[in-house]
Amino acid sequence: MAIQLQERTAELLGELRVAATPWRIRGIRANETVVDSRDAVLVWEPRRVTPVYAVPDPDVAGRIEPLGPPRPLDPAEARRPVLDPSVPFDAHTAPGEALAVHAAGGVVAAFRFGDPLLEGRIAIDFDALAWFEEDAPQVAHPRDPFHRIDVRPTPRHVVMSHRGVVVVETDRARLLAETMLPVRWYVPEDAVRVPLEPSDTTTTCAYKGRACYRSARVADEVLRDLFWTYDEPLSDGRAVAGLLGVFAERLEVVVDGEPRVRTGVLAVHPSV
């Protein structure tokens, strides 16, 4: 019997998942190497959508101190259907032991998984170090080898409105499809029909780079951080460089004259 791949992938989110990586992994703090491994693996805890590096104990420089049971999810975190990178490293959904690595003049959070497949390895808080795969810097979180981004230009006529006011209208959009995320519209800035206001919000995506946000003023209402853009994108974001991504689920959307049903997707930042 055939299987539906998206459904099967979603089912696996509840499991502890492990994948090998071919790269030499290094983690640096204050110009000192804390992690240097040619035998790292990627580990996704249950409900996590981004992985961490787990490396053999000897590949970690410094004293490893056991701290006891990890912090469980707080009530707000527990209500989330998935855990994105905004949920701190110290909140764990897999059995194991919290650790502290004393190295490079500081303390780095770490975790030892209780699963036999990961025996002798520890995971390190990505945010605590500057990371490299071979000599390529890594930002936001380790890159997922099963994660894919595709961008296609589309001539479809798109109108996005808020309470009867047209916010976006264009037939020069691009659609960005990203694994496990909603398909996103990216539009030229001249397709926006309302004033834009600057925002201090920024996020970082491991695949697309650093996003800067814009708010939209619609009549007397400000739709905060409705748009984002990658001005200096990483390789997977080059096809949308300079375009504005839109949180379309916050607007009424009509495509080629046909209204689209709102997806109900949470309006989280596209930072995973």
Q: Which residues share a beta bridge with 109?
A: 100
pLDDT at 270: 46
More confident residue, 266 or 204: 204
Q: In whole angstroms, how large is the CA radius of gyration of the chain?
A: 21
pLDDT at 263: 56
Q: Which residues share a beta bridge with 37?
A: 25
Residue ranges of the chain that CATH labels 2.170.150.40 = 5-138, 149-259
Distance of CA 61 to the CA centre of its chain: 28
149-160, pLDDT tens digit by residue? 999 999 999 999
Fold classified for 5-138: 2.170.150
Pick the CATH number of 149-259 from 2.130.10.10, 2.170.150.40, 3.10.250.10, 2.60.120.10: 2.170.150.40
55-99, pLDDT tens digit by residue? 999 999 999 999 999 998 999 999 998 999 889 999 999 999 999
165-183, pLDDT tens digit by residue? 999 999 999 999 998 888 9
Which residues are CB-neighbours of 6 under 8 A, at least 6 positions away? none
